[in-house]
Amino acid sequence: MESIDYLKVLFMGPFSGLWCATAMKSKLLPPISFFSKRLSNLYNFSCSIMGPHWNALPSPTLTLTTLFLFSCLCSFGSGSRPARITAPAGRGANQEAPTPGIQPIRPSPAVQLLFQDQHVVLDNGIVRVTLANPEGSITGIQYCGVDNLLEVSNGESNRGYWDVVWSAMGTTRTKGVLDRLEGTELEVVVQNEEQVELSFTRSWNFSLSETVVPMNVDKRFVLLRGSSGFYTYAIYEHLAEWPGFIIDNTRTVFKLRKDKFHYMAIADNRQRFMPLPDDRDPPRGQVLAYPEAVRLVDPVEPGFQGEVDDKYEYSCESKDISVHGWISTDPPVGFWQITPSIEFRSGGPNKQFLTSHVGPTSLNVFVSAHYSGEDLVMEFGPDEAWKKVFGPVFVYLNSLPPEGDPISLWEDAKQQFKLEEQKWPYSFPASEDFTPADQRGKVSGRLLLLDRFVLFTWHLKLAIKNNFLYSITFRYFSEECLPATGAYVGLAVPGEVGSWQRETKGYQFWTRAEEDGFFSISNVLPGDYDLYAWVPGFMGDYKYHYTITISPALDINLRDLIYEPPRNGPTIWEIGIPDRSAAEFYVPDPDPLYINKLYINHTDRFRQYGLWERYAELYPEGDLVYYVGESDYKKDWFFAQVTRKKENGTYEGTAWQIKFTLDAVDANETYTLQVALATAHVSEVQVRTAATVRKADSIDSP
């Protein structure tokens, strides 16, 4: 039976996560019709996976019979025996001999490297990747019987690529120049039966002036044996003697076939069928306040009529962008970008990035000024040396038999992410700039909160005769530390308190503290770091008072760290929750003319288009007034303080009021107003105070 399990792993490949979960359900013998249907499905399945390699088997008939036997045993064998995986020949020291009478399937085909006129091809028998030579753009991805998953109507340089948006230092343009980082030289770094790694490089020199971004670029592509997908990563380098410049954005881009990929998934609760790119073009689409937002007035599919399509509605926080992509239903194929680590992204775990959008387009963004502006661009001086590795990220492909549920491909992709995360940092990258696990370090400790003005309540119940019950309530302040449960704890480039939010050039390593406040940050690259933290529900940022130097294999335990949130006294009143989100405030329904059906009654309903216009409709005459003790911030505090559009088309600022009463005021004490902003962009906040003092029956207004 061990060899049968071996067959399952070899032949199922990327589908094992989908099918093994349904194996061994029953011990009952199935009806004859089951065998007939299963044999037909298995033959189609075998042909779709093996492709041209099917005829290369020693006996396709015998192999199909063997697989048929295995398939039935998987579904109707013992449910109590755990699955057992054995290694193929040459890949494990403890391989077991096959069961007599069963012909073992050959190991996965070796990785092949083929050169054509202006292309180079990677092929492992599961996926075939074609790249332009020497540019290094991805021109084709062949998988599961589909000649090319990428949009064939696009030019070859506009299908799959790395790019940056950059500007020369001192330029005044509002948007930078797009550079697709086309290589000028190809090098085969690794080539054997198990792995092929290609390097597409472009070296900068002063003769290039401002035609391309002033940095060396090394784009890598890796295909492994038996892998249902490929890896890509890039190394950027700027030498100190080169001119300064600015990077607004860098990413990987894949533009998929619009005739096949119609279903997009970026989270469990954020997935849907998407309109076609043609629906965005006039006269089918009507551009709204900015070019990215389009109202679909006459879409090809009538079900999208009246909806708004806007790529910004599908942004996610960095910590939540681990796997996202697209699903085709004919054939049922999934295309996913999997990011096993966010260490190379800028701005920390809460930075918002684009993911996927109508095209169908799949993005993996590593640096972006979206939602933040100039604070989060990468700005390099003329004397600044810098090098950074972005990735590797995994382009994962999965599929199902025709009768399978295509949506289950999303669940399989999530499982694949967990496998990739466990393998991080990868052992296969050949670049010496990618640091393996044994050259990284670890930092651990426990974060505690000391908030002397948190009010604790303790109830004491006393039972007296005749079942009469007294209840006594004690309220008190405590000097004891609390565990910083759920705190975000991270290592980033040394800086000021909270500077990690604007840090773009280095690496960041983040984790969440456990229930008791303990945290552990593994696989940290060698270098100098400050340790930062923030705790949902508490104001302010924490920074450890010493810089931490990580060296290879170093394990540092910082033990107990104590964070004292900033405050001058007990809380008198509070509006909302200081958790770097506005989700708890009032988010209005969108204008029915500008709706995205995905976000109806959704936790992310704030992503609907045009909600800023609703403020003026809710407050046509004056601005928001909030009465402490009477108003409810879930209903009465608008989620964003926006401007008001005037009749002449210009905008003016809004002035909100908070009205409250203090029964007693100590003139010798200082009262502090603390404001926590979830985000701010091209804006200014001004706070002014005014008081009305009541004395007996008279009122004085200072």
pLDDT of residue 592: 95
Q: How confident is the model over 395-401, as a mean pLDDT?
A: 96
The pLDDT of residue 252 is above 60: yes
How many angstroms separate the CA atoms of 486 and 514, rounded? Answer: 6
> Taking each helix axis from N to C terminus, what angle separates 32-50 and 60-76, rounded to the nearest 10 degrees?
120
The pLDDT of residue 553 is above 70: yes
Distance separating the N- and C-terminal Cα atoms of the chain: 89
> Taking each helix axis from N to C terminus, what angle separates 2-12 and 60-76, rounded to the nearest 10 degrees?
110
Could you tell me if 523 and 548 are in contact, meaning their C-beta atoms sit under 8 angstroms apart?
A: no
Q: With bands split at pLDDT 50, 70 and 90, how would you rate the model's confidence at 95?
A: very low
Q: How confident is the model over 20-38, as a mean pLDDT?
A: 34
pLDDT of residue 42: 42
Under 8 Å CB-to-CB from 79, ≥6 apart: which residues? 24, 25, 26, 27
Q: With bands split at pLDDT 50, 70 and 90, how would you rate the model's confidence at 53?
A: very low
Is the peptide bond between 590 and the residue preceding it cis, with omega within 30 degrees of 0? no
Q: With bands split at pLDDT 50, 70 and 90, how would you rate the model's confidence at 76?
A: very low
pLDDT of residue 459: 54
Determine phi and psi for 118, rounding to 5 degrees.
-125, 25
- The per-residue pLDDT of the chain, averaged, comes to 84
Q: How confident is the model over 80-102, as a mean pLDDT?
A: 33
Q: Where are the beta strands (DSSP E) in 535-595?
A: 542-543, 548-550, 555-563
Sign of the CA dihedral running 52, 56, 62, 63? negative
The pLDDT of residue 460 is above 90: no
Q: Tokens for 338?
A: 């999997």
Under 8 Å CB-to-CB from 563, ≥6 apart: which residues? 447, 448, 449, 450, 484, 533, 535, 538, 542
CA angle at residue 452 from 451 to 453, to 5 degrees?
A: 90
How many angstroms separate the CA atoms of 219 and 134, rounded? Answer: 11
Q: Where are the beta strands (DSSP E) in 414-547?
A: 441-449, 455-463, 469-477, 482-483, 488-492, 509-512, 518-524, 527-534, 542-543
Write down all domains in the chain, each with its CATH number in brackets: 2-76 (no CATH), 112-423 (2.70.98.10), 439-563 (2.60.40.1120), 572-702 (no CATH)
Could you tell me if 235 and 134 are in contact, meaning their C-beta atoms sit under 8 angstroms apart?
A: no
DSSP assignment string, 417-450: HHHHHHHPSPS----TTS--GGG-EEEEEEEEE-
The pLDDT of residue 78 is above 60: no
Q: Where are the beta strands (DSSP E) in 311-377?
A: 316-317, 323-329, 332-338, 352-353, 356-357, 361-368
**Alpha helix positions (H), 424-582:** none
Q: Tokens for 488?
A: 């975000």
| Partners of 692 in the β-ladder | none
Among 11-20, 177-186, 554-563, 619-628, name the one with the lowest average pLDDT: 11-20
pLDDT digits (tens, 9 = 90+) for 277-289: 999 999 999 999 9
The pLDDT of residue 574 is above 80: yes
Could you tell me if 51 and 60 are in contact, meaning their C-beta atoms sit under 8 angstroms apart?
A: no
Q: How confident is the model over 468-486, as a mean pLDDT?
A: 72
Percentage, residues of the chain above pLDDT 70? 79
The pLDDT of residue 458 is above 60: no
pTM assigned to the model: 0.81
Q: With bands split at pLDDT 50, 70 and 90, how would you rate the model's confidence at 174?
A: low
Pairing mode of beta strands 361-368, 356-357: antiparallel
CA angle at residue 481 from 477 to 482, to 5 degrees?
A: 95
How many angstroms separate the CA atoms of 7 and 239, rounded? Answer: 52
pLDDT of residue 114: 98
DSSP assignment string, 614-673: HHHHHSSSS--EEETTT--HHHHSBSS---EE-TTS-EE----EEE---S---TTS----
What size, in residues, is the chain?
A: 702
The pLDDT of residue 8 is above 60: no
Buried b (16+ CB within 10 A) or exposed e, 432-471: eebbeeeebbbbbbbbbbebeebeeeeeeeeeeeeeeeee
The pLDDT of residue 25 is above 80: no
Percentage, residues of the chain above pLDDT 90? 69
Could you tell me if 544 and 558 are in contact, meaning their C-beta atoms sit under 8 angstroms apart?
A: yes
Q: How confident is the model over 470-494, as a mean pLDDT?
A: 82
Put residue 682 in one of left, alpha, beta given phi > 0 → left and psi -120 to 50 → alpha. left
**The residue type at 294:** V
pLDDT of residue 664: 86
